[in-house]
């Protein structure tokens, strides 16, 4: 009932009830019910950020569960390992026909090896770029969002020195007390500053984590600094239009995880109680003065024990509680938790008892879609592409002579390869798809998590080294067929061999 209905019902209950029944009769969707069945729904017309206003507490609870609940830790590890794995690696692409593109690409690969693949890229000097990706993804899962700051080493920029450094921080650094409007139409909301068009212009961040033991700011005396949005990346999974902050991925399953953990503790306690095999000695008469206890009673039971008792005594045994149904309850609970995280039960728990190749592959298909969306719709556009732009800008300052060529290049990102469930079956299928023209060779190579250009260079180098050493491998399709038969020399090969002999 709405306010008017309740007011009428207070004066004329029958008329109020008739109005409520009439409204229910014209509902076309069961989900619109306002009766007892829908009493537990929290139907509020809030926007995405208002609905997640308690995101800070939810992130604290999620981190506690990751620290103390093995299933929460496993869920986070499965998501991070499949999304980031060994790292989303960069690939430098130059414009077609660019003069000196090959030389530029080689210098770019040298830059990747010297700075991106080493801990020089980390402001704290602990991780390479791929380790920072993993840190960021860990934070996205348990806190719902992460911030990455662009910093520069204390050295003059340019002059052949790569000074770019990246710092990954938790969303706790945002100063939530900064919340006000400006006269020009801009505003600050939850520590993020926007202009009048809604574009982010700055972030108000603490210099230290507010929960650190050495945090020097307390309450209203805490001081945050304004950091331009151009130097900050804010990465989170956006689930609703207009959403400006992320929410922990454990939000839909937090209570289920807690209940399942308590159920598991209760079952373990029942097992302990069931292991307490007890016996009770009952006498029909009270023990007289000077009468001693029969020898052996009150001790422990042992195999083959024969105990003598009197005719007026009786021994009964306790009946411990049954602990059945544990496996079924745990499995169903873990299935629902895995579904809430968007991963498979088998990956989540490691239970492969009821899985064969077909069921395992079909189960992976949905998870692979989720992983692909986390990579291509979140990590790569929100994190890796902007970082690629930062790297390119710093590279251009270090090599001002080729600045225009460098800025014309682009960084493409290759996600980690998907682990094959059964390589003996899947690789022939990929080979058949390429031969039939349904997929390109480069596309298959990227799908497996490799750089096609680097792979081609390595294969070419292997072929040259094998030819120089006079070796032949059946992996070389030009030399050996798939059936293991040595391929005959082509006229071109014979001419090349003849020319080489003439040269000798």
pLDDT digits (tens, 9 = 90+) for 82-101: 999 999 999 888 877 777 78
| pLDDT for residue 344 is more than 90 | yes
Q: How far apart are CA 372 and CA 374, in angstroms?
A: 5
Rounded CA-CA distance 140/49 in Å is 16
Residue 64 in this model has a pLDDT that exceeds 90: yes
Integer Cα distance of 458 and 161 in angstroms = 30
Residue 220's pLDDT band, with cuts at 50, 70 and 90, is: very low
More confident residue, 361 or 301: 361
The two structure tokens encoding residue 318: 């306790």
pLDDT band at 360 (very low <50, low <70, confident <90, very high): confident
Q: Is the pLDDT of residue 206 over 60?
A: yes
pLDDT per residue as tens digits for the range 416-450: 887 777 788 888 899 899 999 999 988 888 778 77
Work out the average pLDDT over 164-191: 94
Q: Residues of the chain with pLDDT > 70: what percent?
A: 82
Share of the chain above pLDDT 90, in %: 42
pLDDT greater than 80 at residue 239: yes
Is pLDDT of 500 > 70? no
Q: How many CB atoms lie within 10 A of CB 452?
A: 16
The pair of three-digit structure tokens given for residue 180, joined into one six-digit string:
């006000």
Strand duo 192-194 + 187-189: pairing: antiparallel
pLDDT mean across residues, the chain: 84
- Cα–Cα distance for residue pair 72/63, rounded to 1 Å: 9
pLDDT at res. 160: 65
Number of Cβ within 10 Å of residue 480's Cβ equals 15
Mean pLDDT of 138-160: 85
Judge whether 253 and 61 are in contact, CB under 8 Å: no
Tell me how far apart the alpha carbons of residues 175 and 206 are, in angstroms, rounded to a whole number.
Answer: 7
Residues 6+ apart with CB under 8 A from 455: 445
Q: For 263-270, what is the mean pLDDT?
A: 87
Q: Is the pLDDT of residue 476 over 90?
A: no
Which tokens hold the place of 43?
Answer: 């139907």
DSSP SS3 for 101:
helix
Amino acid 421: pLDDT: 74
- For residue 130, the model assigns a pLDDT of 96
Predicted pLDDT of residue 398 = 87
Lowest model confidence (mean pLDDT) among 140-154, 157-171, 283-297, 462-476: 283-297
281 confidence band (pLDDT: 50, 70, 90):
low
Contacts of 127 (CB under 8 A, 6+ apart): 119, 121, 134, 135
Region 268-283: mean pLDDT is 70
Q: What is the pLDDT of residue 215?
A: 62
Residue 326: its pLDDT value, please?
Answer: 86
Mean pLDDT of 236-259: 95
Question: Following DSSP, what letter does each residue of 473-484 receive, concatenated?
Answer: -TT-TTTB-TTS
Phi-psi label, residue 158: left if phi above 0, alpha if psi -120 to 50, beta otherwise: left
Contacts of residue 16, Cβ cutoff 8 Å, sequence gap at least 6: 1, 5, 6, 8, 9, 10
The pTM score is 0.81
Rg (CA), the chain: 34
In the chain the first and final C-alpha atoms are separated, in Å, by: 100
- Here the tokens at position 444 are 């298959």
Q: How far apart are CA 421 and CA 503, in angstroms?
A: 51
**Where do the DSSP E strands lie in 277-418?**
279-283, 313-317, 410-414
Q: Is 138's pLDDT higher than 80?
A: yes
- pLDDT classification of 273: cutoffs 50, 70, 90: confident
Q: Computed from CA positions of residues 206, 209, 215, 217, in that sequence, does the dihedral angle turn out positive or negative? A: positive
Residues 6+ positions from 62 with CB-CB distance below 8 Å:
72, 142, 143, 248, 249, 250, 251, 254
Query: For residue 273, what are the contacts with CB-CB under 8 A and spacing of at least 6?
Result: 320, 321
**pLDDT tens-digit readout, 376-398:** 999 999 999 999 999 999 999 88
Element housing 227 (H / E): strand 224-228
Whether pLDDT at 336 is above 90: yes
Cβ(204)–Cβ(191) under 8 Å? yes
Among 337, 54, 376, 129, CA closest to 237:
376
């Amino acid at each position: 009932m709405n306010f008017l209905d309740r007011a009428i019902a207070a004066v004329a209950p029958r008329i109020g009830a008739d109005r409520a029944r009439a409204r229910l009769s014209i509902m076309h969707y069961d989900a619109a019910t306002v009766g007892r069945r829908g009493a537990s729904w929290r139907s509020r017309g809030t926007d995405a950020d208002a609905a997640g206003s308690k995101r800070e507490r939810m992130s604290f609870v999620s981190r506690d569960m990751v620290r103390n609940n093995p299933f929460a830790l496993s869920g986070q590890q499965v998501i991070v390992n499949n999304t980031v794995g060994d790292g989303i690696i960069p690939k430098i692409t130059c414009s077609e026909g660019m003069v000196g593109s090959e030389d530029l690409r080689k210098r770019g690969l040298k830059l990747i090896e010297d700075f991106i693949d080493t801990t020089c890229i980390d402001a704290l000097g602990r991780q390479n770029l791929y380790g920072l990706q993993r840190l960021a993804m860990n934070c996205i899962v348990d806190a719902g969002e992460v911030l990455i700051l662009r910093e520069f080493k204390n050295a003059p920029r340019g002059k052949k020195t790569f000074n770019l450094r990246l710092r990954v921080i938790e969303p706790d650094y945002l100063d939530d007390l900064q919340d006000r409007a400006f006269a020009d139409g801009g505003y600050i909301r939850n520590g993020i500053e926007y202009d009048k068009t809604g574009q982010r212009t700055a972030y108000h961040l603490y210099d230290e984590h507010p929960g650190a033991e050495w945090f020097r700011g307390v309450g209203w005396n805490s001081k945050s600094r304004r950091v331009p949005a151009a130097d900050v990346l804010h990465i989170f999974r956006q689930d609703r239009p207009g959403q400006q902050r992320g929410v922990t991925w454990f939000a839909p399953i937090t209570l289920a995880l807690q209940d399942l953990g308590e159920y598991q503790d209760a079952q373990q306690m029942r097992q302990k109680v069931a292991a307490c095999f007890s016996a009770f000695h009952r006498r029909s008469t009270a023990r007289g003065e000077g009468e001693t206890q029969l020898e052996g009673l009150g001790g422990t039971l042992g195999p083959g024990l024969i105990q003598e008792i009197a005719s007026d005594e009786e021994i009964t045994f306790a009946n411990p509680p049954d602990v059945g149904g544990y496996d079924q309850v745990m499995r169903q609970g873990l299935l629902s938790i895995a579904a809430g995280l968007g991963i498979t039960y088998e990956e989540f728990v490691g239970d492969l008892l009821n899985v064969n190749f077909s069921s395992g592959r079909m189960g992976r298909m949905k998870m692979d879609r989720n992983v692909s969306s986390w990579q291509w719709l979140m990590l790569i556009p929100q994190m890796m592409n902007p970082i690629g732009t930062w790297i390119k800008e710093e590279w251009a300052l270090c090599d001002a002579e080729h600045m225009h060529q460098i800025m014309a290049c682009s960084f493409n990102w290759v996600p980690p390869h998907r682990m094959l469930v059964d390589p003996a079956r899947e690789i022939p299928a990929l080979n058949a798809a390429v031969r039939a023209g349904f997929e390109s060779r480069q596309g298959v190579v990227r799908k497996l998590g490799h750089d096609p250009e680097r792979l081609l260079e390595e294969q070419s180098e292997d072929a040259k080294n094998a030819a120089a050493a006079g070796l032949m491998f059946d992996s070389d399709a030009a030399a050996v067929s798939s059936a293991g038969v040595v391929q005959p020399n082509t006229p071109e090969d014979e001419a090349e061999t003849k020319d080489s002999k003439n040269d000798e």
